[in-house]
Amino acid sequence: MSVHTTALPAAPAPQLPPPDAVPAPASPLDTAGDLIALLRATTTEPRPDAQLEALTLAVSADLPVLLWGEPGIGKTAALTQLARTLDLPLTTVIASVHEPSDFAGLPVIGDDPAERGVPMAPPDWAVRLVRAGRGLLFLDELSTAPPAVQAALLRLVLERRIGALRLPPGIRIVAAANPPASAADGWELSPPLANRFVHLHWAHDPEVVVRGLGGTWPRAVLPRLDPDALPAAVDRARRAVCGFLAARPALVHRLPSGEARRGGAWPSPRSWDTALCLIAFATAAGSGKEVLSLLVRGAVGDGPGFELLAAVDRMDLPDPEDLLADPASAPLPERGDQRQAALDAVVAAVNARPEKARWEAAWALLARAAGTGAPDLVVVPATTLAALRREDWEVPAAMDRLTGVVALSRRADRAAERTAAREASGRERTR
Protein backbone atom coordinates (compact mmCIF):
# COMPACT_ATOMS: atom_id res chain seq x y z
CA MET A 1 0.00 0.00 0.00
CA SER A 2 1.37 3.28 -0.94
CA VAL A 3 1.22 6.25 1.33
CA HIS A 4 1.07 9.69 -0.18
CA THR A 5 2.61 12.46 1.89
CA THR A 6 2.26 16.11 1.23
CA ALA A 7 5.26 18.30 1.95
CA LEU A 8 4.40 21.24 4.16
CA PRO A 9 5.97 24.60 3.35
CA ALA A 10 8.91 25.55 5.55
CA ALA A 11 8.13 28.03 8.33
CA PRO A 12 9.56 31.45 7.60
CA ALA A 13 12.66 32.38 9.58
CA PRO A 14 12.03 34.98 12.29
CA GLN A 15 12.83 38.53 11.14
CA LEU A 16 15.40 39.99 13.56
CA PRO A 17 15.97 43.72 13.64
CA PRO A 18 19.33 44.87 12.36
CA PRO A 19 21.95 45.13 15.07
CA ASP A 20 22.13 48.93 14.93
CA ALA A 21 18.35 49.24 15.47
CA VAL A 22 18.44 47.64 18.90
CA PRO A 23 18.72 50.32 21.56
CA ALA A 24 21.74 49.68 23.69
CA PRO A 25 21.15 49.69 27.41
CA ALA A 26 22.03 53.02 28.97
CA SER A 27 25.50 53.07 30.39
CA PRO A 28 25.95 54.46 33.90
CA LEU A 29 28.50 56.85 32.41
CA ASP A 30 25.90 58.12 29.92
CA THR A 31 23.56 58.95 32.77
CA ALA A 32 26.42 60.60 34.63
CA GLY A 33 27.15 62.62 31.49
CA ASP A 34 23.55 63.81 31.38
CA LEU A 35 23.82 64.97 34.98
CA ILE A 36 27.10 66.76 34.28
CA ALA A 37 25.50 68.51 31.30
CA LEU A 38 22.65 69.73 33.48
CA LEU A 39 25.08 71.03 36.09
CA ARG A 40 27.04 72.92 33.44
CA ALA A 41 23.96 74.42 31.81
CA THR A 42 24.11 77.99 33.07
CA THR A 43 22.92 81.31 31.77
CA THR A 44 24.10 84.91 32.06
CA GLU A 45 22.49 88.21 32.94
CA PRO A 46 23.50 91.86 32.71
CA ARG A 47 24.81 92.85 36.12
CA PRO A 48 26.99 95.79 37.21
CA ASP A 49 30.48 94.41 37.83
CA ALA A 50 33.35 96.89 37.92
CA GLN A 51 36.18 94.39 37.54
CA LEU A 52 34.45 92.58 34.66
CA GLU A 53 33.77 95.92 32.93
CA ALA A 54 37.41 96.92 33.42
CA LEU A 55 38.54 93.64 31.88
CA THR A 56 36.29 93.97 28.83
CA LEU A 57 37.33 97.61 28.35
CA ALA A 58 41.04 96.71 28.38
CA VAL A 59 40.37 93.81 25.99
CA SER A 60 38.47 96.20 23.72
CA ALA A 61 41.46 98.57 23.78
CA ASP A 62 43.71 95.67 22.66
CA LEU A 63 45.93 95.97 25.73
CA PRO A 64 47.49 92.90 27.40
CA VAL A 65 45.75 92.24 30.72
CA LEU A 66 47.08 90.29 33.69
CA LEU A 67 44.55 89.01 36.23
CA TRP A 68 45.97 88.53 39.73
CA GLY A 69 44.07 86.38 42.17
CA GLU A 70 44.25 83.49 44.58
CA PRO A 71 43.76 79.93 43.26
CA GLY A 72 40.13 79.02 42.63
CA ILE A 73 38.93 82.63 42.57
CA GLY A 74 37.39 82.26 39.09
CA LYS A 75 39.97 83.85 36.77
CA THR A 76 39.88 81.04 34.22
CA ALA A 77 36.07 80.83 34.37
CA ALA A 78 35.81 84.58 33.73
CA LEU A 79 38.04 84.30 30.66
CA THR A 80 36.10 81.31 29.34
CA GLN A 81 32.82 83.14 29.75
CA LEU A 82 34.28 86.28 28.16
CA ALA A 83 35.45 84.34 25.09
CA ARG A 84 32.04 82.64 24.77
CA THR A 85 30.16 85.93 25.06
CA LEU A 86 32.39 87.67 22.52
CA ASP A 87 32.24 84.64 20.22
CA LEU A 88 36.03 84.36 20.19
CA PRO A 89 37.92 81.05 20.06
CA LEU A 90 39.86 80.61 23.30
CA THR A 91 43.42 79.28 23.20
CA THR A 92 44.86 78.48 26.63
CA VAL A 93 48.63 78.17 27.03
CA ILE A 94 50.07 77.17 30.42
CA ALA A 95 53.23 79.26 30.43
CA SER A 96 55.01 77.24 33.13
CA VAL A 97 54.97 73.94 31.17
CA HIS A 98 56.56 75.42 28.05
CA GLU A 99 60.16 75.99 27.08
CA PRO A 100 61.50 79.40 26.00
CA SER A 101 61.76 78.10 22.44
CA ASP A 102 58.01 77.50 22.40
CA PHE A 103 57.54 81.29 22.41
CA ALA A 104 60.74 82.44 20.71
CA GLY A 105 60.39 79.84 17.93
CA LEU A 106 62.20 76.62 17.03
CA PRO A 107 65.06 76.90 14.51
CA VAL A 108 64.41 75.06 11.25
CA ILE A 109 67.39 74.36 9.01
CA GLY A 110 66.63 74.96 5.34
CA ASP A 111 68.44 74.02 2.16
CA ASP A 112 70.96 76.83 2.33
CA PRO A 113 71.06 78.50 5.74
CA ALA A 114 74.01 80.65 4.68
CA GLU A 115 71.85 82.28 2.02
CA ARG A 116 68.36 82.21 3.53
CA GLY A 117 69.16 82.05 7.23
CA VAL A 118 67.48 79.84 9.80
CA PRO A 119 63.76 80.59 10.26
CA MET A 120 62.18 80.29 13.69
CA ALA A 121 59.14 78.05 13.46
CA PRO A 122 56.13 78.94 15.69
CA PRO A 123 54.21 76.32 17.73
CA ASP A 124 51.04 74.78 16.36
CA TRP A 125 48.69 76.77 18.62
CA ALA A 126 50.09 80.03 17.24
CA VAL A 127 49.57 78.84 13.67
CA ARG A 128 45.94 77.97 14.47
CA LEU A 129 45.39 81.42 15.96
CA VAL A 130 46.76 83.14 12.88
CA ARG A 131 44.63 80.99 10.58
CA ALA A 132 41.53 81.84 12.59
CA GLY A 133 42.40 85.54 12.38
CA ARG A 134 40.71 86.26 15.70
CA GLY A 135 40.66 84.84 19.18
CA LEU A 136 41.57 85.20 22.83
CA LEU A 137 45.05 83.99 23.82
CA PHE A 138 45.03 83.08 27.51
CA LEU A 139 48.46 82.76 29.13
CA ASP A 140 47.70 80.97 32.38
CA GLU A 141 49.90 80.41 35.46
CA LEU A 142 52.24 83.22 34.46
CA SER A 143 53.76 83.55 37.93
CA THR A 144 54.96 79.93 37.80
CA ALA A 145 56.93 80.51 34.58
CA PRO A 146 60.71 80.59 35.22
CA PRO A 147 62.69 83.72 34.26
CA ALA A 148 63.87 82.23 30.96
CA VAL A 149 60.28 81.66 29.83
CA GLN A 150 59.27 85.14 31.02
CA ALA A 151 62.05 86.59 28.89
CA ALA A 152 60.78 84.69 25.85
CA LEU A 153 57.28 86.05 26.48
CA LEU A 154 58.42 89.68 26.20
CA ARG A 155 58.25 89.73 22.42
CA LEU A 156 54.91 87.92 22.35
CA VAL A 157 53.22 90.32 24.76
CA LEU A 158 54.64 93.57 23.32
CA GLU A 159 55.29 92.89 19.63
CA ARG A 160 52.79 90.02 19.26
CA ARG A 161 55.42 87.88 17.54
CA ILE A 162 56.07 84.15 18.03
CA GLY A 163 59.11 83.06 16.08
CA ALA A 164 58.69 84.37 12.54
CA LEU A 165 54.91 84.66 12.97
CA ARG A 166 53.01 87.84 13.81
CA LEU A 167 49.62 87.62 15.49
CA PRO A 168 46.87 89.53 13.63
CA PRO A 169 45.06 92.48 15.25
CA GLY A 170 41.96 90.38 15.91
CA ILE A 171 43.72 88.44 18.69
CA ARG A 172 43.63 89.71 22.27
CA ILE A 173 46.07 88.64 24.98
CA VAL A 174 45.02 88.01 28.59
CA ALA A 175 47.15 86.35 31.27
CA ALA A 176 46.46 85.12 34.78
CA ALA A 177 48.74 84.63 37.75
CA ASN A 178 48.63 83.70 41.40
CA PRO A 179 50.59 85.74 43.92
CA PRO A 180 54.02 84.11 44.37
CA ALA A 181 53.16 83.13 47.94
CA SER A 182 50.23 80.99 46.75
CA ALA A 183 51.63 79.83 43.40
CA ALA A 184 53.20 76.42 42.87
CA ASP A 185 56.94 77.14 42.70
CA GLY A 186 56.07 80.78 42.11
CA TRP A 187 58.39 83.43 40.71
CA GLU A 188 58.18 87.18 40.84
CA LEU A 189 57.39 88.67 37.45
CA SER A 190 60.33 90.36 35.79
CA PRO A 191 59.99 94.17 35.59
CA PRO A 192 60.11 94.28 31.76
CA LEU A 193 57.29 91.74 31.48
CA ALA A 194 55.20 93.26 34.28
CA ASN A 195 55.39 96.71 32.71
CA ARG A 196 53.71 95.43 29.55
CA PHE A 197 50.43 94.47 31.27
CA VAL A 198 47.38 96.16 32.73
CA HIS A 199 47.24 94.54 36.18
CA LEU A 200 43.76 93.78 37.51
CA HIS A 201 43.38 92.21 40.95
CA TRP A 202 40.56 89.68 40.67
CA ALA A 203 38.38 89.26 43.75
CA HIS A 204 35.18 87.32 44.33
CA ASP A 205 31.84 88.89 45.15
CA PRO A 206 29.87 86.52 47.41
CA GLU A 207 26.56 87.58 45.84
CA VAL A 208 27.89 86.90 42.34
CA VAL A 209 29.23 83.49 43.40
CA VAL A 210 25.97 82.47 45.06
CA ARG A 211 23.88 83.56 42.08
CA GLY A 212 26.33 81.93 39.68
CA LEU A 213 26.24 78.61 41.51
CA GLY A 214 22.48 78.89 41.16
CA GLY A 215 22.93 78.95 37.39
CA THR A 216 23.21 82.65 36.47
CA TRP A 217 26.54 84.45 36.05
CA PRO A 218 27.25 88.08 35.07
CA ARG A 219 27.43 88.70 31.35
CA ALA A 220 30.62 90.14 29.88
CA VAL A 221 29.90 92.60 27.06
CA LEU A 222 32.17 94.89 25.14
CA PRO A 223 31.63 98.56 26.01
CA ARG A 224 29.60 100.67 23.63
CA LEU A 225 31.79 103.51 22.45
CA ASP A 226 30.06 106.72 21.42
CA PRO A 227 31.34 107.51 17.87
CA ASP A 228 30.67 111.23 18.35
CA ALA A 229 32.70 111.30 21.58
CA LEU A 230 35.93 109.79 20.21
CA PRO A 231 37.83 113.04 19.40
CA ALA A 232 36.84 114.62 22.72
CA ALA A 233 37.82 111.43 24.58
CA VAL A 234 41.30 111.42 23.04
CA ASP A 235 41.73 115.13 23.77
CA ARG A 236 40.66 114.66 27.40
CA ALA A 237 43.03 111.72 27.90
CA ARG A 238 45.98 113.57 26.42
CA ARG A 239 45.34 116.71 28.45
CA ALA A 240 45.00 114.66 31.63
CA VAL A 241 48.18 112.62 31.26
CA CYS A 242 50.35 115.34 29.70
CA GLY A 243 49.22 117.99 32.16
CA PHE A 244 49.82 115.66 35.10
CA LEU A 245 53.31 114.60 33.98
CA ALA A 246 54.26 118.21 33.24
CA ALA A 247 53.49 118.97 36.90
CA ARG A 248 55.01 115.71 38.21
CA PRO A 249 57.99 114.96 35.94
CA ALA A 250 59.56 112.67 38.55
CA LEU A 251 56.78 110.16 37.87
CA VAL A 252 57.49 109.80 34.16
CA HIS A 253 59.65 106.78 35.01
CA ARG A 254 59.96 105.35 38.50
CA LEU A 255 61.12 101.76 38.89
CA PRO A 256 60.10 100.49 42.36
CA SER A 257 62.88 99.52 44.71
CA GLY A 258 61.34 96.28 45.99
CA GLU A 259 61.37 93.15 43.86
CA ALA A 260 57.73 92.33 44.59
CA ARG A 261 56.52 95.80 43.55
CA ARG A 262 58.56 95.60 40.35
CA GLY A 263 56.44 92.61 39.38
CA GLY A 264 53.28 94.75 39.42
CA ALA A 265 52.15 98.02 37.88
CA TRP A 266 54.61 100.94 37.94
CA PRO A 267 55.03 104.17 35.98
CA SER A 268 57.08 104.31 32.78
CA PRO A 269 56.57 106.02 29.41
CA ARG A 270 55.08 102.74 28.17
CA SER A 271 52.59 102.40 31.05
CA TRP A 272 51.63 106.10 30.84
CA ASP A 273 50.78 105.52 27.19
CA THR A 274 48.63 102.60 28.35
CA ALA A 275 46.92 104.81 30.94
CA LEU A 276 46.23 107.45 28.29
CA CYS A 277 44.61 104.83 26.06
CA LEU A 278 42.48 103.52 28.92
CA ILE A 279 41.25 107.00 29.89
CA ALA A 280 40.21 107.62 26.29
CA PHE A 281 38.33 104.32 26.08
CA ALA A 282 36.67 104.79 29.48
CA THR A 283 35.59 108.31 28.51
CA ALA A 284 34.17 107.22 25.16
CA ALA A 285 32.34 104.33 26.86
CA GLY A 286 30.97 106.50 29.68
CA SER A 287 32.50 104.20 32.31
CA GLY A 288 32.20 105.06 35.97
CA LYS A 289 34.87 106.29 38.33
CA GLU A 290 35.45 102.87 39.91
CA VAL A 291 36.18 101.23 36.56
CA LEU A 292 38.54 104.04 35.54
CA SER A 293 40.32 103.74 38.89
CA LEU A 294 40.90 99.99 38.42
CA LEU A 295 42.32 100.54 34.94
CA VAL A 296 44.56 103.53 35.66
CA ARG A 297 46.01 102.01 38.83
CA GLY A 298 46.45 98.73 36.97
CA ALA A 299 48.60 100.54 34.42
CA VAL A 300 50.84 102.83 36.50
CA GLY A 301 50.39 101.64 40.10
CA ASP A 302 48.32 102.81 43.05
CA GLY A 303 50.22 105.94 44.07
CA PRO A 304 50.70 107.56 40.65
CA GLY A 305 47.29 106.27 39.60
CA PHE A 306 45.46 107.99 42.46
CA GLU A 307 47.30 111.23 41.72
CA LEU A 308 46.32 111.04 38.05
CA LEU A 309 42.70 110.29 38.96
CA ALA A 310 42.64 113.38 41.18
CA ALA A 311 43.97 115.43 38.27
CA VAL A 312 41.24 114.01 36.01
CA ASP A 313 38.62 114.98 38.60
CA ARG A 314 39.97 118.53 38.69
CA MET A 315 39.67 118.67 34.91
CA ASP A 316 35.97 117.93 35.22
CA LEU A 317 35.38 120.85 37.60
CA PRO A 318 33.95 124.09 36.23
CA ASP A 319 36.15 127.17 36.19
CA PRO A 320 35.50 129.10 39.45
CA GLU A 321 35.56 132.36 37.51
CA ASP A 322 32.74 131.10 35.29
CA LEU A 323 30.72 130.26 38.41
CA LEU A 324 31.32 133.70 39.91
CA ALA A 325 30.39 135.40 36.64
CA ASP A 326 26.99 133.66 36.55
CA PRO A 327 26.10 132.37 40.04
CA ALA A 328 22.39 132.08 39.25
CA SER A 329 22.59 129.66 36.33
CA ALA A 330 26.16 128.39 35.86
CA PRO A 331 26.04 124.56 35.96
CA LEU A 332 27.24 122.93 39.18
CA PRO A 333 28.62 119.38 39.35
CA GLU A 334 26.04 116.77 40.30
CA ARG A 335 28.45 114.47 42.16
CA GLY A 336 28.87 115.44 45.79
CA ASP A 337 32.67 115.35 45.98
CA GLN A 338 33.01 117.36 42.77
CA ARG A 339 30.46 119.93 43.94
CA GLN A 340 32.35 120.31 47.23
CA ALA A 341 35.63 120.83 45.35
CA ALA A 342 34.01 123.37 43.00
CA LEU A 343 32.62 125.43 45.91
CA ASP A 344 35.98 125.32 47.69
CA ALA A 345 37.63 126.55 44.46
CA VAL A 346 35.17 129.45 44.26
CA VAL A 347 35.97 130.54 47.82
CA ALA A 348 39.69 130.23 47.09
CA ALA A 349 39.25 132.43 44.00
CA VAL A 350 37.48 135.09 46.09
CA ASN A 351 40.26 134.91 48.68
CA ALA A 352 42.85 135.40 45.94
CA ARG A 353 41.05 138.53 44.67
CA PRO A 354 38.66 139.77 47.39
CA GLU A 355 36.09 142.16 45.95
CA LYS A 356 32.60 142.92 47.22
CA ALA A 357 30.86 141.86 43.98
CA ARG A 358 32.79 138.59 43.86
CA TRP A 359 32.10 137.94 47.56
CA GLU A 360 28.35 138.50 47.08
CA ALA A 361 28.34 136.31 43.93
CA ALA A 362 29.97 133.53 45.95
CA TRP A 363 27.20 133.76 48.57
CA ALA A 364 24.54 133.57 45.87
CA LEU A 365 26.23 130.49 44.45
CA LEU A 366 26.43 128.82 47.88
CA ALA A 367 22.75 129.51 48.48
CA ARG A 368 21.83 127.90 45.16
CA ALA A 369 24.07 124.91 45.93
CA ALA A 370 22.37 124.44 49.31
CA GLY A 371 18.97 124.50 47.66
CA THR A 372 19.83 122.03 44.88
CA GLY A 373 22.02 119.53 46.72
CA ALA A 374 23.16 118.36 50.12
CA PRO A 375 23.20 121.45 52.40
CA ASP A 376 26.13 120.05 54.39
CA LEU A 377 28.41 120.63 51.41
CA VAL A 378 28.21 124.43 51.84
CA VAL A 379 29.11 124.51 55.54
CA VAL A 380 32.88 124.62 55.19
CA PRO A 381 33.03 127.04 52.23
CA ALA A 382 30.38 129.26 53.88
CA THR A 383 32.40 129.45 57.09
CA THR A 384 35.54 130.35 55.15
CA LEU A 385 33.69 132.88 52.99
CA ALA A 386 32.19 134.59 56.07
CA ALA A 387 35.70 135.17 57.42
CA LEU A 388 36.58 137.11 54.24
CA ARG A 389 34.00 139.85 54.89
CA ARG A 390 35.28 143.40 55.10
CA GLU A 391 33.82 145.90 57.57
CA ASP A 392 32.19 148.03 54.88
CA TRP A 393 30.53 145.05 53.15
CA GLU A 394 26.87 144.59 53.97
CA VAL A 395 25.61 141.14 54.84
CA PRO A 396 23.82 139.76 51.75
CA ALA A 397 20.46 138.04 51.99
CA ALA A 398 22.01 134.78 50.82
CA MET A 399 24.33 134.82 53.83
CA ASP A 400 21.36 135.19 56.18
CA ARG A 401 19.63 132.22 54.53
CA LEU A 402 22.69 130.03 55.04
CA THR A 403 23.24 131.02 58.67
CA GLY A 404 20.74 128.43 59.85
CA VAL A 405 22.38 125.69 57.81
CA VAL A 406 25.80 126.45 59.24
CA ALA A 407 24.49 126.71 62.80
CA LEU A 408 22.57 123.45 62.50
CA SER A 409 25.63 121.66 61.13
CA ARG A 410 27.79 122.97 63.96
CA ARG A 411 25.22 121.84 66.57
CA ALA A 412 25.15 118.40 64.96
CA ASP A 413 28.95 118.23 65.07
CA ARG A 414 29.02 119.23 68.74
CA ALA A 415 26.33 116.66 69.56
CA ALA A 416 28.32 113.98 67.79
CA GLU A 417 31.43 114.99 69.72
CA ARG A 418 29.56 114.80 73.03
CA THR A 419 28.17 111.37 72.14
CA ALA A 420 31.61 110.10 71.23
CA ALA A 421 33.03 111.49 74.48
CA ARG A 422 30.32 109.78 76.56
CA GLU A 423 30.95 106.46 74.81
CA ALA A 424 34.69 106.76 75.40
CA SER A 425 34.09 107.62 79.07
CA GLY A 426 31.81 104.59 79.43
CA ARG A 427 34.45 102.30 77.98
CA GLU A 428 37.02 103.68 80.42
CA ARG A 429 34.75 102.98 83.39
CA THR A 430 34.11 99.39 82.34
CA ARG A 431 37.81 98.54 82.13
Task: Provide the residue-wise pLDDT of the chain in tens; the chain has 431 residues.
Answer: 444 444 545 555 556 556 555 566 667 788 898 899 998 888 888 888 888 899 999 999 999 999 998 888 888 888 888 888 788 889 999 888 888 888 877 777 666 666 666 777 788 888 888 898 899 999 988 888 888 888 888 888 888 888 878 888 889 999 998 886 666 567 888 899 999 999 999 888 888 888 888 888 888 777 889 999 999 999 999 999 998 999 899 999 999 988 778 889 999 999 999 999 999 999 999 999 999 999 999 999 999 999 999 888 888 788 888 899 998 888 888 888 788 888 888 999 999 999 989 988 988 888 888 888 777 788 888 888 888 888 888 877 777 667 655 554 444 345 445 555 565 665 555 55
Nearest to 56 by CA among 89, 87, 86: 86
Per-residue three-class SS string for 262-312:
HCCCCCCHHHHHHHHHHHHHHHHHCCCHHHHHHHHHHHHCHHHHHHHHHHH
CATH number belonging to domain 46-109+117-218: 3.40.50.300
- Sign (positive/negative) of CA torsion 283, 286, 289, 294? negative
Coil, helix or strand for 346?
A: helix
Q: Is the whole-model pTM more than 0.75?
A: no
Residues 6+ apart with CB under 8 A from 370: 377, 378, 401, 402, 405
